[in-house]
């Protein structure tokens, strides 16, 4: 019973935090893109535009929700939740912090420490394809269908590199649980002074995973499915108001989750190097760990935004070539090299 109440509170806090971060990530995107393009971005609604997400949310709520007559109603309505739900669920296993002392007990700052940790993430990444493909098909519109098919082809091609690049990390950690992977990075150090983060022991895997995460989130340079110039907004062309907002939120939620997972798997998650003694259980240490996780995730979210407004879009054949002929062999090579080094070091 205790466990149920604790989990329920954690779920509510996690969802609230995630949805707020998604809303402010939209604002951050507009501000970052503005400064990159040498202009100011939204600054009318509240200081520095900080109430803009509130204004956007109200706009989406009050906008007229049009369902065109030529769509397949059931699947049209079902597609946006079908992509939002996996994007939000993936955050449940991310360890935001170590433990935090509340009311005398140490509470894990992680909603669910499932023993199939990383496989759960891969499963949700695979499920994310459905919403897009069904949204594109249900819209009964050539551009939407093409966008949906391209998106799913891209996503299933890059899922392979996503999974294979993780195998090197799993070989080093010996466990699928995200909590164990972070603990292993936290408790050792390389060469005496560097923290044992997986970015130092698995740099190729980090690169492959980050690029595959960009492709999975349909972000530039891989955003051909929703390219404004070619496909008239692609698979969400026929959607308006709240359903469009759900597609939008799902894309940003998968960005947040991807950043959180990269920070967890490769950058030590909540680990604060050199500053905290292992075994320190005070409130200050716990809050500092959560803060360090937030900083790392924030950096990767900024990387997502930065790359979008810097690089041009890939062509479809370039996307396929990169995924199958470059990243897949490199991921397999990474597994082989990791195994070789681990065997020789024994």
Partner 1 sequence: MESLFFFIFAAVAVVSALLLVTFRNPVYCALSLVATFFAIAGHFVLLNAYFLAAVQVIVYAGAIMVLFLFVIMLLNMGHSSALEVVAGKYRRVAVVLLMAVLVAQLGLMVGRQIGVSPEPGDPALFSENIPYIGKLLYTDFLLPFEIASMILLVALVGVMVMVKKDPAKADH
Residues 144, 177: Cα–Cα separation, whole Å? 38
Total residues belonging to the chain: 346
CB burial string 174-213: b at 16+ within 10 A, e below:
eebbbbbbbbbbbeeeeeeeebbbbbebbeebbbbbbbbb
Is residue 303 close enough to count as binding partner 1 by CB under 8 A? no
Residue span binding partner 1 (CB under 8 A) among the ranges 20-28, 30-38, 71-79, 218-226: 71-79
**Residue placing its CB nearer to partner 1 in the complex, 40 or 116:** 116
**Which residue from 33, 108, 113, 126 is in contact with partner 1, where contact means CB under 8 A?**
126
> Which is nearest to 163 in space by CA: 198, 93, 212?
212
**Which residue from 55, 122, 167, 232 is in contact with partner 1, where contact means CB under 8 A?**
122
Give the nearest distance from C-beta 29 to partner 1 in angstroms: 28
Contacts of 136 (CB under 8 A, 6+ apart): 144, 145, 146, 147, 148, 149, 151, 234, 235
Is residue 92 close enough to count as binding partner 1 by CB under 8 A? no
- In this structure, are residues 151 and 230 in contact, taking their beta carbons and an 8 Å threshold? no
Intra-chain end-to-end CA distance of the chain, in Å: 46
**Residue placing its CB nearer to partner 1 in the complex, 55 or 176:** 176
Contacts 24+ apart (CB under 8 A), 311-317: 311/220, 311/221, 312/221, 313/220, 313/221, 313/222, 313/223, 313/224, 313/227, 314/221, 314/222, 314/224, 315/224, 316/150, 316/224
> Which is nearest to 118 in space by CA: 190, 58, 224, 198?
198
Distances (CA, A) of 309 to 29, 83, 302, 306, 337: 9, 24, 11, 6, 34
Give the nearest distance from C-beta 217 to partner 1 in angstroms: 16
**Residue placing its CB nearer to partner 1 in the complex, 44 or 346:** 346
**Which residue from 60, 76, 91, 137 is in contact with partner 1, where contact means CB under 8 A?**
137
Give the nearest distance from C-beta 107 to partner 1 in angstroms: 23
**Which residue from 119, 207, 290, 294 is in contact with partner 1, where contact means CB under 8 A?**
119
Is residue 130 close enough to count as binding partner 1 by CB under 8 A? yes
By CB under 8 A, what part of segment 147-206 binds partner 1? 149, 152, 156, 159, 176
**Which residue from 71, 129, 164, 260 is in contact with partner 1, where contact means CB under 8 A?**
129
Residue span binding partner 1 (CB under 8 A) among the ranges 11-19, 128-136, 192-200, 201-209: 128-136
How many residues of this chain bind partner 1 (CB under 8 A)? Answer: 24
Report residue 304 as tokens: 């997502």
By CB under 8 A, what part of segment 207-266 binds partner 1? none
Contacts of 8 (CB under 8 A, 6+ apart): none
Whole-angstrom Cα Rg for the chain: 21
Give the nearest distance from C-beta 187 to partner 1 in angstroms: 20
Collapsing DSSP states into helix, strand and coil, what is residue 99?
strand
**Residue placing its CB nearer to partner 1 in the complex, 137 or 244:** 137
**Residue placing its CB nearer to partner 1 in the complex, 257 or 292:** 257
Is residue 7 close enough to count as binding partner 1 by CB under 8 A? no
**Which residue from 17, 34, 55, 127 is in contact with partner 1, where contact means CB under 8 A?**
127
Binding site for partner 1 (CB under 8 A): 72, 74-75, 114-116, 119-120, 122-123, 125-127, 129-130, 133-134, 137, 145, 149, 152, 156, 159, 176
């Amino acid at each position: 019973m205790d466990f149920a109440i604790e989990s329920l509170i954690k779920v509510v806090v996690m969802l609230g935090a995630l949805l707020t971060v998604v809303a402010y990530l939209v604002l951050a995107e507009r501000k970052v893109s503005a400064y990159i393009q040498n202009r100011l971005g939204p600054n009318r609604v509240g200081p520095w535009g900080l109430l803009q997400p509130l204004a956007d949310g109200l706009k989406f709520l009050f906008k007229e929700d049009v369902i065109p007559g030529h769509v397949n109603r059931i699947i049209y309505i079902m597609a946006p939740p079908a992509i939002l739900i996996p994007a939000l669920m993936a955050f449940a296993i991310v360890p935001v912090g170590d433990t935090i002392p509340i009311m005398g007990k140490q509470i894990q700052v992680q909603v669910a420490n499932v023993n199939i940790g990383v496989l759960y993430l891969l499963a949700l990444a695979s499920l994310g394809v459905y919403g897009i493909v069904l949204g594109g098909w249900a819209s009964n519109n050539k551009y939407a269908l093409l966008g949906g098919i391209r998106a799913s082809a891209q996503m299933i091609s890059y899922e392979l590199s996503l999974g294979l690049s993780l195998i090197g990390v799993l070989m080093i950690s010996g466990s699928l649980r995200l909590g164990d992977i972070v603990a292993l990075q936290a408790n050792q150090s390389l060469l005496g002074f560097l923290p044992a983060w997986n970015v130092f022991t698995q740099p190729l895997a980090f690169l492959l995973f980050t690029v595959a995460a960009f492709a999975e989130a349909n972000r530039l340079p891989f955003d051909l499915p929703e390219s404004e110039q070619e496909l008239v907004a692609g698979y969400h062309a026929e959607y308006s108001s709240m359903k469009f907002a759900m597609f939008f939120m799902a894309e940003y939620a998968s960005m947040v989750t991807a950043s959180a997972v990269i920070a967890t798997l490769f950058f030590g998650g909540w680990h604060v190097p050199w500053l905290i003694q292992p075994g320190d259980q005070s409130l200050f240490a716990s809050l500092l760990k959560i803060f360090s996780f937030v900083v790392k995730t924030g950096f990767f979210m900024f990387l997502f935004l930065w790359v979008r407004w810097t690089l041009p879009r890939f062509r479809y054949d370039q996307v396929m070539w990169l995924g199958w002929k470059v990243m897949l062999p490199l991921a397999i090579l990474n597994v082989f090299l990791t195994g070789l080094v681990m065997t020789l070091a024994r």
